Amino acid sequence: MLSHYSKEVLLRHWSWRNFQSCRRNFSESPTEPPPYHWHKPMGQHTDIRIYNNGMRRKVPLILRNPNMVTWYTCGPTVYDSAHLGHASTYVKVDIIQRILRNYFNINLVTAMNITDVDDKIIRKARDSGCDWLGMARTYEAEFKQDMLRLNVQPPDIRTHVTSNMPAIVQFIEELINDSHAYVTEDNSVYFDVSKYPHYGKLQRLGMSTEEKSDLFKQNSADFALWKAKKEADEPSWAAPWGGEGRPGWHIECSAIAGFFFGHKLDFHAGGLDLRFPHHENEEAQCCVRYQTDQWVNYWMHTGQLYIAGDEQKMSKSLGNTISISEMLQSYTSDEFRMACLLSNYRNAMPYSEQLMLTARQTLQRFKNFQADLSAYTQFLKPIRKLDEGALKAQIAHMVTEFDSSLRDDFDTARGVSVLIDQMTSISRCINEQQVDAEEEPAYCLDLLTAAGNYINRAMLTFGITKLTETESLSQEIPLPTAGGAVDPALLIADILAIRGKLRREAISGQQKNIPLLAACDELRNLLEQHGIQIRDHKEGSSWVYASRAAASERKQ
């Protein structure tokens, strides 16, 4: 039976008309296909568990070849600008890939397709009066730029559908020769779902007995592998079974992934809306061609982004999109990534100003912690003797819990919470009065620095780029001079040194110099307007980079 969640997904992401059509093609009756059995791979156990939708539970990650792990991600159809729905999928996938590569030291080999010929591309080019391939290349370049701005690492292999026609045609030919696909009167080709007994296993749908012909199709659930050319201006390629045409949507990914990775794929990723029918059809095609019961060992489906309060996902067809460029005018790429980290990758992500402000505040907590810890180790704060044994235990607990969260289906929200708990504990140690220690107290500067390094590396693992001021500012505002470039970090440090001297002079007498203190405050406010947050301590001042928007929020 369809779970409540599966029904909700279908209702949300499909129109009612399409949902009704789906119900005609599939059945919720007890005559479902045999229960889905996931085949555990043979290989190296990793102690990582990943959610398996077909099993409705988590399964162990086992690597067939620990020296090379394959990953395929469904790429964009380049007929328009990418929006935040796309961004959330690719950022979440990037986070998981970074965890596998940088935290678990797994050698991922990644590939992605670019769908550069499709009904939507042809239709928009025709309506716009432009060349379809030129338009596709323009939107592809924009997509790549958007991914760079979001700090999404490019795949190892990225290729176009139009560059892989021989592999696609060969794939279809083999399905025809094995009687799993058939050629229609107009030289289109359809996959015969009745010949594959496990069809519907990813979505847990059973085949209906009410099969109904539609044009040349034998069964209404059959899907197109090849679309015959109908209009003179359509892009087309010659087909060995006759006539000209172009590939259907689903065969592209199967052929490209199969061409690069062969009969078995470790990971396959995409948005939850692709699970059915796209991924279902991919799995069916490849299982048949490669004569296997399981082509992909681990399907990774990301929850979809929608505007909070809107019942439907963000979609170009619904006209409820926010472009990546629009979002980056108000928020940074790190803030959007933090929003993704705070949401389980499998869950729906309700986009709102409140979500982004929460992400901004959370990111700022990490920046503030690093700045405070730096100020403490530079003796800008009073040095305290701490309970060394208790601090060691806290750090060990953080490392264990953080590791556990990532091994539990990449639970980044829990991982971030673990790091925040540790930061809170350390901040309490260095800012509050000393407590009684069971062991001989020590300054523990090495342990505090080690904890800070671990937290910083964890955030870098997630793809967060700007926790430290010197790294971010030297990249953001290089200042050319006659002698080269000014280091902004050194410039700000000199400004703070002068400000510190003025503050000490203002409070050194029997009465405070109020005008001089006001001038120091004015300088601090001016720097904050430019994204430099000043933090005054007993022995001096430190600073941390914060967005201008965050500085403005603090003033309100």
Instruction: State residue 2's pLDDT score.
Output: 37
Helix axes 469-476 and 488-508, enclosed angle (nearest 10)? 120
Q: pLDDT band at residue 331, thresholds of 50, 70 and 90?
A: very high
Rounded to 5 degrees, φ, ψ at 178 are -90, 5
* Any domain includes 325: no
Confidence check: pLDDT of 243 > 60: yes
Confidence check: pLDDT of 541 > 80: no
Q: Average the pLDDT over 421-441 and give the result.
A: 75
Confidence check: pLDDT of 37 > 50: yes
CB atoms within 10 A of CB 152: 22
354 shares its domain with 408: yes
- What are the pLDDT digits (tens) for 98-140? 999 999 999 999 999 999 999 999 999 999 999 999 999 999 9
> What long-range pairs does 134-138 form, CB within 8 A, spacing at least 24?
135/79, 136/78, 136/79, 137/78
Instruction: State residue 474's pLDDT score.
Output: 35
* Any domain includes 317: no
Q: Give the amino acid at 62.
A: I
Q: Which two tokens stand for residue 509?
A: 């007498």
13 shares its domain with 112: yes
Q: CATH no. for residue 33?
A: 3.40.50.620
What total number of domains does the chain contain? 3
Q: Average the pLDDT over 65-80 and give the result.
A: 96
Instruction: State residue 20's pLDDT score.
Output: 37
CB atoms within 10 A of CB 28: 15
**Which DSSP helix (H) or strand (E) runs through 122?**
helix 119-128
286 shares its domain with 192: yes
227 shares its domain with 374: no
419 shares its domain with 547: no
- C-alpha 227/C-alpha 191 separation (Å) is 12
* Any domain includes 338: no
Q: Which of residues 242, 271, 302 is at a domain's end?
A: 302
- Per the CB < 8 A criterion, the answer to whether 108 and 66 are in contact is no
Q: Which of 81, 79, 107, 111 is nearest to 93 (CA)?
A: 111
Containing structural domain, residue 447 = 349-465
Q: Which of residues 438, 465, 492 is at a domain's end?
A: 465
Confidence check: pLDDT of 219 > 60: yes
- What are the pLDDT digits (tens) for 138-189? 999 999 999 999 999 999 999 999 999 999 999 999 999 999 999 999 999 9
Q: What residue spans of 378-444 are helical by DSSP H? A: 388-407, 412-431
- What are the pLDDT digits (tens) for 25-34? 444 443 455 5
* Any domain includes 336: no
- C-alpha 193/C-alpha 190 separation (Å) is 9
Q: Which of residues 282, 302, 322 is at a domain's end?
A: 302
455 shares its domain with 537: no
273 shares its domain with 391: no
Q: Give the amino acid at 192.
A: D
